[in-house]
Amino acid sequence: MSAAPKASFRSDGWWPWLFVVPTLLGVLVFYIWPLFQTGYMSFTETGPFGGDTWVGGANYATLIGDENVGLALVNTVVYTAIVLLGVPLAILLASMVNRPGLRFATFYRVLFFMPYIAMPTAVALVWRMIYNGDFGILNWFLALFGITGPYWTSTPGFAIVAVGIVGMWASLGFGIIILSAGLKNIPPDFYEAAQLDGATRWTQFRSITVPLLTPSIFFVTIISVINGFQLFDLLYAIMGQRNPAMQQSQSLVYIFYNQAFINNNKGYAAAIAMLILLVIGIVTWFQFRMQKKWVNYV
Amino acid sequence: MSSVRTSNTGLSPAQRGTNNARAHIVLGLIGFLMVFPFVWQLIMSLSTNDQVMSVPPTFWPGELQWQNYATVFTKVPFLSQLGVSIAITVLRVLGQVILCCMAGYAFARMRFPLKGVILAIILSILMVPGQVYLIPQFQIVQNLGLLNTVWGIVIPGIFSAFGVFLMRQFFMGLPTELEEAARLDGANPFQVFWKVMLPLAAPGISALVIITTLWSWNDLLWPLVVTTYAESMPLSAGLATLQGSVSTDYTVMMAASIMAMAPVLILFIVLQRRVIEGLAFSGTK
């Protein structure tokens, strides 16, 4: 093969631009430009009739002193932590449902991934009924054991936990799917060798499955945290905007939405958006730093 | 999967049986908790309001109240919301498949100046949470006069850095021989892409279609921001903003929410193998 025809064969001319420019333009207009726009906006104040005035760091100063934002940060962290409790459960379930020759495996898989693919606002409505303090089935069930359940979605403190449980329920299937894919990459010889040594299933799970699954576990954790910090749909749809406990149960994105589109306080909302960016950035950076300590790449 | 099967030969059938029995108990119990809200939703949608509010709960309504489903159409603009949901999902999927395949292919196989920089710019938007773009995106859509329209809901979501990355990874994994043969036969880059590579990319495209369908059908925040009239909302926003008499009409609400999620839920259960593969593929690339 001579060099000359290969070179002419590889000259793609203007074709690549035809392929790339539509996406590049869209990304610049709808993402990159808005990114800088929001950054700028966070230093301005929106007047009652529109129009922005430069206010320097005033929005950020307000942000730091805003109790609601602090509370929203705590709520968001609590929600994310509850969702993360689902990760160990997902590991266990994934390893069980992928057992060789297990019967009904497909059936179980469908049950697990249904909550993940179902529309959050639609399942929120049924959870609202389940959580209902007067006639909800959850409190009826608790009463069987002599426990008087609270008004789950209208009691501050309980509400974010209630939403967190739904979040965990809804994202468990995602974890199981990703972890199942990871399980298929574990060489079967590892298990054979362990069995020859007389290792029990629990020992195999602890010393083969979990360590070799750590890259997938890491991925599921990262995604769960990023999604958890962006809690909005479930909170909005389970609690409803006129819920008396909403004030104490807001998430960061909920406050952002309210400030930007209900109170029309876009400058302040932009500062909250930058805070969300910062928090997710720090948490993700920290997780990537910590991964050396526990993630094994084969 | 089948190779893993050999790993269990060391266990006696009895041992395997007892261990799997424990697995069935755990999987069955959690599986029940996973599916219970759907079952309960279905039961409530076929009950009367009094039965729904009864203590202890009415586990079986006796006479099934199918008319609850008919009532949905008189109380909320369900059909127009369904139309909006279908339109935004189809348009967004089509747009993403076309744009992401083209860009993904170019980044995987073509040579052009600034390729690395452009790819980095596009992928950089993945690292920023969506709220950061939201206000300016709203203002752009407002200035274009597209509030309360299908296009207003669809437009920003047609451009997907995730989709570009997914398709790039997929095209990079395909063999180069076919492509080179087609080019030597005189096909231009577009013909190579359209006739040779695109058909080979079907599994990658199906993953992209599945994920985009889910995101588009279920998304709440963006549609809530760009629509104000019930008629121009998709089902997700329509359900979340149900107000007035409907919000205490529990049975109708349950019927509406079942109908809203049923199309994608049923479709994905039927295609479950492909959906699980698609989600796993996108998560491991």
Our CA-based measurement puts residue A101 at a distance from the nearest CA of chain B, in whole angstroms, of 7
Contact A126 B240 (CB under 8 A): no
**pLDDT tens per residue, range B22-58:** 899 999 999 999 999 999 999 999 999 999 999 899 9
Residues of A in contact with B17 (CB under 8 A): none
Mean pLDDT of B57-78: 92
Q: What pLDDT does B178 receive?
A: 85
Residues of A in contact with B128 (CB under 8 A): 31, 35, 277
Residues of A in contact with B121 (CB under 8 A): 24, 27-28, 32
Mean pLDDT of B4-14: 46
The residue of chain B nearest to residue A232, with distances taken between CA atoms, is B221
The pLDDT-based confidence of B243 (bands split at 50, 70, 90) is: low
Query: Is residue A9's pLDDT more than 60?
Result: no
Our CA-based measurement puts residue A157 at a distance from the nearest CA of chain B, in whole angstroms, of 22
**pLDDT tens per residue, range A242-285:** 888 999 999 999 999 999 999 999 999 999 999 999 999 999 99
**pLDDT tens per residue, range B244-260:** 667 778 999 999 999 99
Our CA-based measurement puts residue A237 at a distance from the nearest CA of chain B, in whole angstroms, of 5
Our CA-based measurement puts residue B58 at a distance from the nearest CA of chain A, in whole angstroms, of 10
Reduced 3-state DSSP string for chain A? CCHHHHHHHCCCCCHHHHHHHHHHHHHHHHHHHHHHHHHHHCCEEECECECEEECCCHHHHHHHHCHHHHHHHHHHHHHHHHHHCHHHHHHHHHHHHCCCCCCCHHHHHHHHHHHHHCCHHHHHHHHHHHHCCCCCHHHHHHHHCCCCCCCHHHCCCHHHHHHHHHHHHHHHHHHHHHHHHHHCCCCHHHHHHHHHCCCCHHHHHHHHHHHHHHHHHHHHHHHHHHHHCCCCHHHHHHHCCCCCCHHHHCCHHHHHHHHHHHCCCHHHHHHHHHHHHHHHHHHHHHHHHHHHHHCCCC
**Closest partner residue to B132 among A35, A98, A140, by Cβ?**
A35
Contact B7 A192 (CB under 8 A): yes
Distances from the Cα of A47 to the Cα of A54, A266, A268, B94, B161, angstroms: 11, 9, 12, 40, 34
The residues, any chain, with a CB within 8 Å of residue A34's CB and separated by 6 or more, are B132, B133, B134, B135, B136, B137, B140
Predicted structure pTM score: 0.91
**B214-234: b (≥16 Cβ within 10 Å) or e:** bbbbbbbbbbbbbbeebebbb
Residues of A in contact with B8 (CB under 8 A): 99-101, 191
Contact A129 B52 (CB under 8 A): yes
Contact A27 B125 (CB under 8 A): yes
Contact B128 A20 (CB under 8 A): no
Contact B30 A112 (CB under 8 A): yes
Query: Is residue A1's pLDDT more than 60?
Result: no
Amino acid identity, position B267: L
Our CA-based measurement puts residue B111 at a distance from the nearest CA of chain A, in whole angstroms, of 7
Backbone Cα Rg of chain B: 24
The pLDDT-based confidence of A298 (bands split at 50, 70, 90) is: low
**Closest partner residue to B136 among A27, A34, A240, by Cβ?**
A34
The residue of chain A nearest to residue B190, with distances taken between CA atoms, is A15
| Phi, psi of A296, rounded to the nearest 5 degrees | -100, 120
Our CA-based measurement puts residue B67 at a distance from the nearest CA of chain A, in whole angstroms, of 19
**pLDDT tens per residue, range A180-238:** 999 988 888 888 899 898 888 889 999 999 999 999 999 999 999 999 999 999 999 99
The residue of chain A nearest to residue B257, with distances taken between CA atoms, is A122
Q: Decide: residue B268, CB within 10 A, 0-12 exposed, 13-18 middle, 19+ buried.
A: buried
Residues of A in contact with B183 (CB under 8 A): 9
**pLDDT tens per residue, range B119-151:** 999 999 998 999 999 999 999 999 999 999 999
